């Protein structure tokens, strides 16, 4: 199994241990910031995180909360901006449904794992749409790796 597709969600509170979850909801404690994991995922695809980010900036007019294309249609997207004291990075590819739940959003993943994130459903849907649009653009340009 490809390492980037192992994790469906990272929850990072700055200054604390990063939490990661697989598609079955198993919790893992990570020793590094999420960005370090994303950088490693990109390197496994012979790319750099900065290169993936620059490509997204160049090919789209997105300027904040950029999804990161890892490869083979795998995307991770942030829920909050880079300056937030807490953030979530979600793997787009394993989302099956997003529901409003008590002022938050419940994300359903393949494998029956559900996770509640304190944000509006529209934010998550918008990030998912960004992933879809970028993937379509890459396919049109024959750049999907």
Percent of the chain with pLDDT over 70: 96
Model pLDDT, residue 2: 65
Residues in the chain: 145
Give percent above pLDDT 90 in the chain.
77
Do 23 and 107 form a contact (C-beta atoms < 8 A)?
no
pLDDT of residue 6: 82
Mean pLDDT of 64-88: 91
pLDDT value at residue 16: 79
pTM: 0.92
For residue 1, the model assigns a pLDDT of 47
Helix, strand and coil content of the chain, in percent to the nearest 5, comes to 30, 35, 35
- Tens of pLDDT, residues 124-141: 999 999 999 999 999 999
DSSP strand E in the chain: where? 7-13, 18-22, 27-30, 68-71, 74-78, 86-91, 95-101, 104-109, 114-117
Domain boundaries, given as residue ranges, for the chain? 3-140
Answer whether residue 89 shows pLDDT above 80: yes
């Amino acid at each position: 199994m490809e390492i980037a597709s192992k994790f469906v969600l990272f929850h990072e509170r700055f200054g604390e241990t990063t939490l990661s979850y697989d598609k079955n909801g198993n919790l893992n404690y990570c020793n590094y910031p999420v960005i370090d994991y994303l950088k490693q995922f990109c390197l496994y695809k012979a790319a750099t995180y900065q290169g993936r980010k620059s490509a997204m900036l160049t090919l789209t007019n997105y300027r904040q909360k950029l999804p990161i294309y890892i490869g083979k249609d795998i995307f991770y997207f942030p829920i909050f901006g880079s300056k937030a004291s807490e953030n979530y990075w979600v793997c787009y590819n394993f989302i099956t449904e997003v529901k409003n739940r008590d002022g938050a959003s419940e994300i359903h993943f393949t494998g029956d794992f559900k996770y509640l994130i304190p944000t509006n459903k529209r934010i998550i849907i918008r990030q998912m749409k960004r992933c879809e649009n970028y993937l379509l653009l890459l396919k049109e340009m024959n750049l999907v790796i």
